[in-house]
Chain A
Amino acid sequence: MDYTFPELPYAFNALEPHIDAMTMEIHYTKHHKTYFDKFVAAIKETELNGTPLEEIFAQVSKLPMPVRNHGGGLYNHTLFWESMSPNGGGVPTGKLADAITAQYGSFEDFKTKFNDAAANRFGSGWAWLSVKADKSLCVCSSANQDNPLMDISDCKATPILGLDVWEHAYYLKFQNRRPEYITAFWNVVNWAVVQARYESAIK
């Protein structure tokens, strides 16, 4: 299998005013593309060239750091773009909504927990909503480009929603005000995609 750099599923300005066009353009064409290029170069040096990312992450502790950093950067951003939509926002429905309410009490309580994970991640990283092996949900954060699929993760699970809290994800528009970026993010969350990921994860 060859690795492909995914298309951005919408225009750079599609998430305005919540995520600005310039941030989207640089984030996708520079940051994401660089992770892709560096991952492709790094994985070629290993015996796992062509292996799906999920399988690579499951043994990432045995692989060179560039595979972990750039493979993570490739996967995480792809998931992130798909997690957003110009027609996003609102609340989840169906089985995911039921699971969130059952586990966190309410959608608002879940959001608070996710917001805290994103705000309290010191330095660069990600906040995640994931599905654990026992099918329960979990909210956690990871440093840099790590993610819950990696064997080094302290919250091993299948991520269904990710929020990039590297400063590059928000600095042009929000500067030091990460909480405002997190608040804006909820307006563009593509719950249809997150729900589909959830249903596939609990199968």
Chain B
Amino acid sequence: MKAQESIHKFAPLPYAYDALEPYIDKMTMEIHYDKHHRAYYNNFMAAIKGTELEKTPMLDIFANISAQPVGIRNNGGGFWNHEMFWNCMKSNGGGAPKGKLGDAITATFGSFDEFKKQFADAGAKRFGSGWVWLVVGKDGKLFISSTANQDNPLMNIAEKPGIPVFCLDVWEHAYYLKYQNKRGDYITAFWNVANWDYAQKLYEEALAKNK
């Protein structure tokens, strides 16, 4: 019998390693994608090998993650979070979100600058390794949260669950080669490569799902 093929694929990086220079350096992108992200994917695939999870969508796995071994939570999260993160950035990114997401951010946080401040704060205050998220809650409202390690707001263990529409990796490996201990500088640089079109798309999908 032919081994069943998993639905989970390691996606290509949507741009070149040097595309986000000078904000995110080429070496960091290469190691981050080709070593860290790939290792999460490989470890995740090894952990689910021969189980029905090979055919289970990630969102369904996360919705029941507390029932799974911690290796699936850690590596599945690392696999999924990084793919989303790559898409949340692009060369010539930055600026401010437009459309419905721009309106919702202003309505929720008062202004885009105030949103940025709260998002950056959440990134600075995450102690140890983790992520910052802009999330749509069940009530359709936006909120900012941060998670430890490779957890995310889709997991049923999340303190503040919801559908993430934008994210930032604040593990030290995301910035240490260029910024070392200066996580704040990395977060400031990140705004220059933010892909708001992608966040806007995820936001509209999240609202449609919540209907």
By a beta-carbon cutoff of 8 Å, the part of chain A in contact with chain B is 26, 30-31, 34, 65, 69, 122-125, 143-145, 166-168, 171-172, 175-176
In the complex, what residues of B have CB within 8 A of residue A65's CB?
127
* Residue in B149, B150, B171, B177 whose CB lies within 8 Å of A172: B177
Within 115-136 of B, Cβ neighbours of A (below 8 Å) are at 127-130
**Cα distance, A148 to B70, chains bound together (Å):** 22
Comparing B31-39, B154-162, B189-197, B201-209, the segment that makes contact with chain A is: B31-39
In the complex, what residues of A have CB within 8 A of residue B173's CB?
167, 171, 175-176
By a beta-carbon cutoff of 8 Å, the part of chain B in contact with chain A is 31, 35-36, 39, 70, 74, 127-130, 148-150, 171-173, 176-177, 180-181
* Residue in A31, A123, A143, A175 whose CB lies within 8 Å of B31: A175
In the complex, what residues of B have CB within 8 A of residue A175's CB?
31, 35, 173, 177
Q: Are B127 and A30 in contact (CB under 8 A)?
A: no
Given A167-B173, A167-B176, A171-B172, A34:B128 Cβ within 8 A: no
**Cα distance, A48 to B168, chains bound together (Å):** 36
With CB as the reference atom, state the residue of chain B lying closest to A31. Answer: B181
In the complex, what residues of B have CB within 8 A of residue A34's CB?
181
Q: Are B149 and A176 in contact (CB under 8 A)?
A: no
**Cα distance, A176 to B177, chains bound together (Å):** 11
Q: Are B129 and A123 in contact (CB under 8 A)?
A: yes
Given A168-B172, A171-B173, A26:B180 Cβ within 8 A: yes
In the complex, what residues of A have CB within 8 A of residue B128's CB?
123-125, 143-145, 166
In the complex, what residues of B have CB within 8 A of residue A172's CB?
176-177, 180
Q: Are A176 and B31 in contact (CB under 8 A)?
A: yes
**Cα distance, A121 to B129, chains bound together (Å):** 12
Q: Are B127 and A144 in contact (CB under 8 A)?
A: yes
* Residue in B74, B127, B130, B177 whose CB lies within 8 Å of A171: B177
11 contacts between A and B (CB under 8 A): A26-B181, A30-B181, A31-B181, A122-B150, A123-B129, A124-B128, A124-B172, A143-B128, A167-B129, A168-B181, A171-B176
Min CB–CB distance A174 → chain B (angstroms): 11
In the complex, what residues of B have CB within 8 A of residue A145's CB?
127-128
Min CB–CB distance A84 → chain B (angstroms): 20
With CB as the reference atom, state the residue of chain A lying closest to B129. Answer: A123
**Cα distance, A26 to B180, chains bound together (Å):** 8
In the A-B complex, the 9 residue pairs with the closest CB atoms = A167-B172, A124-B128, A123-B129, A123-B149, A144-B128, A30-B181, A176-B35, A171-B176, A124-B129
In the complex, what residues of A have CB within 8 A of residue B36's CB?
176
In the complex, what residues of A have CB within 8 A of residue B35's CB?
175-176
With CB as the reference atom, state the residue of chain B lying closest to A70. Answer: B127
With CB as the reference atom, state the residue of chain B lying closest to A175. Answer: B31
Given A143-B128, A168-B172, A171-B173, A30:B180 Cβ within 8 A: yes
In the complex, what residues of A have CB within 8 A of residue B148's CB?
123
With CB as the reference atom, state the residue of chain B lying closest to A169. Answer: B172
